[in-house]
């Protein structure tokens, strides 16, 4: 799909009346959600919209990082929904995709009927924290450019955030690895530079203005994002929080059936 001068890979599954836009995390793709979709109850009620985010999967990887900035990505997603003639949508975002989903709900509140945020953050409130994160992401971007995607993914797979995935079946770990290494080095590096946590505007001050129902979720072993989700719940009036047992950062990968049931029940109520 040609969107604002960039080719986006968009896949739709099903033709139900309930539209669910699904936004993956850093190094992922729309296909990352296949297992959790299988865990949905009443799947026939949904049209799942899987978007490979800018610089990921089969979507283009523009050469300049400014093209990846949050405000431009939000316009792209709005244009995708317009192209699909969708005027009301639920959005499910994981990690980086959760930051994008929340930012979209802030920018286009009338379009979003419900919001699911898995292991997500509203950004960083303090400028010194944002500056430090921008520098850290720049180092990661330079590492990708210098050593290549495979070397970076080998490193990324072993950071504490993803240690709980080591208990997944070997075949599943291999599939996740192959999907990650298939990404473009330019796309991953520029995604960090343009859409990183430090670069995006903070949404903490907008949380009390969100009017749609919100499901917040974090894995029990992901203590940082459990705390973030609990704080977000205090500020979002129509929100519920689930701490998912037996999971770390990537709940949809580690507990797809359990979480699929929770998400589908939330969306259908």
Residues of the chain with pLDDT under 50: none
Provide the pLDDT for residue 84. 96
CATH superfamily of 2-268: Alpha/Beta hydrolase fold, catalytic domain (3.40.50.1820)
- Show me where the domains of the chain are located: 2-268
* Contacts for 159 with CB less than 8 Å, ≥ 6 apart: none
Provide the pLDDT for residue 158. 86
In angstroms, the first-to-last Cα distance of the chain is 32
Provide the pLDDT for residue 18. 95
Q: How far apart are CA 1 and CA 60, in angstroms?
A: 10
Q: Which residue spans within 29-124 are E strands per DSSP? A: 46-51, 89-94, 112-118
Provide the pLDDT for residue 162. 87
Beta bridge partner(s), residue 94: 118
Q: Is 45 exposed, middle or buried (0-12, 13-18, 19+ CB in 10 A)?
A: middle
Nearest to 7, CA basis, from 66, 70, 108, 79? 79
Provide the pLDDT for residue 266. 97
Do residues 248 and 161 make contact, with C-beta atoms less than 8 angstroms apart? yes
């Amino acid at each position: 799909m040609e969107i604002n001068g960039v080719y986006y890979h968009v896949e739709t599954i099903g033709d139900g009346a309930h539209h669910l836009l699904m936004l993956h995390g850093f190094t992922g793709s729309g296909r990352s959600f296949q297992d959790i979709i299988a865990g949905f109850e009443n799947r026939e009620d949904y049209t799942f919209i899987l978007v490979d985010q800018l610089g990921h999967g089969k979507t283009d990887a523009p050469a300049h990082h400014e093209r990846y900035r949050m405000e431009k990505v939000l316009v792209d997603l709005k244009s995708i929904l317009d192209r699909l003639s969708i005027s009301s949508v639920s959005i499910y975002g994981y990690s980086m995709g959760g930051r994008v989903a929340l930012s979209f709900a802030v920018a286009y509140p009338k379009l979003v009927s419900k919001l699911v945020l898995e292991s997500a953050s509203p950004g960083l409130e303090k400028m010194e924290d944002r500056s430090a994160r921008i520098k850290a992401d720049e180092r990661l971007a330079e590492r990708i450019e210098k050593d290549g995607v495979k070397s970076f993914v080998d490193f990324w797979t072993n950071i504490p955030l993803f240690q709980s995935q080591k208990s997944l079946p070997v075949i599943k770990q291999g599939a996740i690895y192959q999907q990650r290494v298939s990404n473009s080095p330019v796309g991953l590096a520029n995604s960090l530079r343009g859409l990183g946590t430090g670069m995006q505007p903070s949404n903490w001050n907008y949380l009390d203005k969100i009017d749609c129902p919100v499901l917040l979720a974090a894995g029990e072993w992901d203590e940082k994002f459990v705390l973030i989700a609990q704080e977000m719940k205090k500020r979002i009036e129509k929100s519920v929080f689930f701490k998912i047992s037996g999971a770390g950062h990537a709940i949809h990968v580690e507990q797809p059936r359990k979480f699929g049931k929770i998400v589908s029940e939330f969306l259908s109520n």
